[in-house]
Amino acid sequence: MTMESEQRLSSSDSTIVGIVENIRKSASDSWNYRGLELSNEMLVLLISHPNIDKAAAALDVTIGSLADPKDIPGIAHFLEHMLFMGSSKYPDENEYSKLIVGNGGCSNAFTSDDHTNFNFDINPSLLADALDMLV
């Protein structure tokens, strides 16, 4: 992630409040890792390699179908799909999917018993835009 991308992220609702230093990796691992802590207590792991031509992100929320109320089974999975219905900032249905697919990427999501995960890859120049839509 470039400094410009980092600055755009820090100008949103959450700002970078700390660097996570204790990232362990194999001595033969040529990837670069950087950990960040955001003001909303989210931990972010940035991974980069100079020979990769895609940017990717995954957001994992530690709540899934086991948290569904008994009277509303399937609500966690339903909420996963709400990402594709738009938001107040991006009101058009499937706007997120159109951005990803229209710029050489793909996306997916899943809900398990205790996690809901959203992930995508895209042209690196649009990573900040795709992240803004995701969160």
Domains of the chain: total: 2
Residue ranges of E strands in the chain? 16-20, 32-38, 43-48, 55-61, 106-111, 116-122
pLDDT at 83: 80
pLDDT at 134: 86
- What is the rounded average pLDDT for all residues in the chain? 87
Kindly state the tokens that stand for 22.
Answer: 């204790």
In a shared domain, residues 133 and 73: yes
- The question of whether 80 is a catalytic residue gets the answer yes
Last residue within a domain, chosen from 52, 77, 95: 52
Eight-state DSSP code of residue 32: E
Q: What is the pLDDT of residues 61-78, one digit of tens each?
A: 999 999 999 999 999 999
Question: What is residue 116's three-state secondary structure?
Answer: strand
pLDDT at 56: 93
The number of helices, as runs of H, and strands, as runs of E, in the chain is 4, 6
In a shared domain, residues 65 and 36: no
In a shared domain, residues 88 and 101: yes
Kindly state the tokens that stand for 24.
Answer: 């362990």
When pLDDT is averaged across residues 39-58 and rounded to a whole number, the result is: 89
Domain region containing 2: 1-52
pLDDT at 7: 45
Could you say which of 41, 80, 93, 95 is catalytic?
A: 80
Q: Does the pLDDT value for residue 92 go beyond 50?
A: yes
In a shared domain, residues 58 and 47: no
In a shared domain, residues 108 and 77: yes
pLDDT at 12: 52
Report the length, in residues, of the chain: 135
Higher pLDDT, 5 or 88: 88
When pLDDT is averaged across residues 88-95 and rounded to a whole number, the result is: 90
Query: What is the C-alpha to C-alpha distance for residues 7 and 75, in angstroms, rounded to an integer?
Result: 35
Q: Torsions phi, psi of 81, nearest 5? A: -75, -20
In a shared domain, residues 71 and 18: no
When pLDDT is averaged across residues 112-133 and rounded to a whole number, the result is: 94
